[in-house]
Structure 1
């Protein structure tokens, strides 16, 4: 007898037990903000619906419905989106408690791992989230042979890279730049760009992304 596959539960207000007066309304308000948080994160990362779909393994149509609050995401879907964005699932369901702290401190070797779909590239965040700031920076380690892939990258905002160890190649708008330790490159994310480590040693760099004003 074939086994039936259980469908992951949706985050619906009526599935949460009331814990006090006004609890259902509070839960409904939290769920209603999930779509907005997904949309804001996607725009902050400079991703199109299709790009996020490819990274998260969630269809572009489903993401569009979630962002417009036309569909309550399953827990599995939230896990996939959280992994793609490099945030915890709790980010989507936590209540907003006023203005975020205007100062963010990152201790040495305590950077938060940032998800990236690119094999051979690891990122450790040294800034706060885009929810608080317009700048995101990370210490990046690029393994030998690591590459952004055959498809060129394009997105909103700007990027700045500062190489601290090794050598990396960036191709921006058709022009190649070989960056060694101490070199810096800044460019508009709207320009087609590509990066790779053609050497046999790992490279390290500070990678900064600036998002556009709202």
Structure 2
């Protein structure tokens, strides 16, 4: 099943299960009702920032919306190349492989990310509850937090409170490979 259909189906199911209208969800998440409708109908894939805003309303991680997991487990082992993958078709075309897919109620979300040359989080800052850890394996990633600029090279890491406005961009000559870990999301 295509990612946009998975996200749309899960968003509509959890919204209806919570007895919320699209307008209710729009008001609680800060995402426009038009965008929510388009996502639910499988017409678009939301940006990571929008997905985080929607996930926060339901106290879920973004994994909940992007994974097509039939069962969950207390222990999950996945071989290289066998992880659930997602391609975000926004400004970054970032490919992620989830380390936590299938884990029952994880308290964090962790991904192996491949960001193409020039890929970026978007033109607007992101911010969300929790903590974030970026560990750069290959390439060169520029991260801006508020007005501070950080350039990560292989082996560098950056941890920060995710409520601080931030954005990132691959400024290297090739793909960047990153391990990205996010703490749980809570309702503000």
Higher relative contact order (CA 8 A, sep 6+): 2
Distance (whole Å) between structure 2 residues aligned to residue 206 and residue 52 of structure 1: 33
Shift of 1:213: 6.1
Structure 1 segment 15-26 matched on structure 2, within 5 A: none
In 1, the alpha carbon distance for the partners of 2:156 and 2:36 equals 30
Unaligned runs of 5+ in 1: 1-10, 12-30, 40-46, 59-76
**Structure 1 132/163 Cα, relative in aligned 2: closer, same or farther at 3 Å?**
same
1:191 aligns to what?
164
Superimposed CA distance per residue, residues 146-194 of structure 1 (whole angstroms, 9 cap, x where no aligned partner): 1111110011111101000011000012101000000000111100000
Residue 126 (str. 1) matches residue 80 (str. 2): no
Unpaired runs of 5+ residues, structure 2, are 1-8, 21-27, 52-64
Q: How does 1:77-156 map to 2 (within 5 A)?
A: 77=40, 79=42, 85-88=65-68, 100-118=72-90, 119-128=92-101, 132-156=105-129
Q: Compute the displacement of 1:107 (Å).
A: 1.6
Q: Which has the larger radius of gyration?
A: 1
Aligned residue for 1:57, secondary structure, equals helix
Task: Encode CA deviations 1:47-88: one digit per residue, 9 max, x unaligned.
Answer: 935079648724xxxxxxxxxxxxxxxxxx365699863133
In the aligned structure 1, how far is the partner of 2:95 from the partner of 2:33?
19
Return closer, same or farther for 1:81/1:161 CA change in 2, 3 Å cut-off.
same
The count of corresponding residues between Structure 1 and Structure 2 is: 152
| Length-normalised TM-score, structure 2 | 0.65
SS in 1 for 2:31: helix
1:57 matched to 2:38? The reply is: yes
Counterpart check, 1:175 vs 2:148: yes
* Structure 1 pair 156–116 and aligned structure 2 pair: CA distance change class (3 A): farther
Cross-structure match for 1:18: none
What is the DSSP-based 3-state SS (H/G/I as helix, E as strand, rest coil) of the residue aligned with 1:105? coil
What is the aligned-residue RMSD (CA, Å)? 3.6
In structure 2, how many angstroms separate the alpha carbons of the residues matched to 1:134 and 1:144? 31
1:205 alignment partner, one of 172, 178, 185: 178
Contact 1:168–1:195 under 8 Å retained in 2 = yes
